[in-house]
């Protein structure tokens, strides 16, 4: 029988509050106008929980995307697709997240 260390065991997906906090914290760590990928926030959640499996962040990604939609509906963030703001109810595919009010200087990269 193989014993899996506690830090490598799967945990429950992030809560909406936890995902929202991770998005806001990740954006706060970036330069003004920079955007983040939802995976950045999901990775932050996994790291904060001490989850060491290389793909542990994946279980938090759906919660981060849902929280991004909620934050965008409240005007706290902007969801970008191909560099343009999109309606949170229509988001799909590859997206990035940015704080409102500050445009990126040249690109949407972090």
CATH of the domain at 34: 1.10.10.10
Classify residue 110: in a domain, yes or no: no
Q: Is residue 3 part of a domain?
A: no
In a domain, 108, yes or no: no
Task: Please name which of 79, 83, 61, 81 lies closest in space to residue 71, comparing C-alpha atoms.
Answer: 79
Query: Tokens 């996994």 sit at which residue?
Result: 46
Q: Answer yes or no: is 6 within a domain.
A: no
Whether 82 is covered by a domain: the verdict is: yes
pLDDT at 11 (0 to 100): 80
Strand partners for 78? 98
The helix (H) or strand (E) run that includes residue 79 is strand 78-81
Per residue of the chain (110 residues), give pLDDT as tens: 554 455 455 689 999 999 999 999 999 999 999 999 999 999 999 999 999 999 999 999 999 999 999 999 999 999 999 999 999 999 999 999 999 987 654 444 44
Q: How many structural domains compose the chain?
A: 1
Q: Are 78 and 100 in contact (CB under 8 A)?
A: yes
> 94 lies in which domain range?
14-98
In a domain, 28, yes or no: yes
Q: In whole angstroms, what separates CA 84 from the centre of its chain?
A: 18
């Amino acid at each position: 029988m193989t014993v899996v260390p506690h830090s490598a065991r799967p945990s429950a997906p992030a809560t909406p509050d936890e995902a929202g906090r991770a998005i806001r914290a990740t954006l706060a760590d970036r330069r003004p106008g920079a955007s983040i990928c939802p995976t950045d926030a999901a990775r932050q959640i996994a790291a904060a929980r001490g989850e060491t499996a290389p793909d542990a962040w994946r279980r938090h990604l759906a919660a981060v995307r849902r929280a991004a939609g909620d934050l965008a509906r409240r005007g706290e963030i902007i969801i970008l697709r191909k560099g343009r703001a999109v309606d949170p109810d229509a988001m799909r595919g590859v997206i990035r997240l940015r704080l409102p009010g500050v445009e990126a200087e040249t690109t949407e990269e972090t």
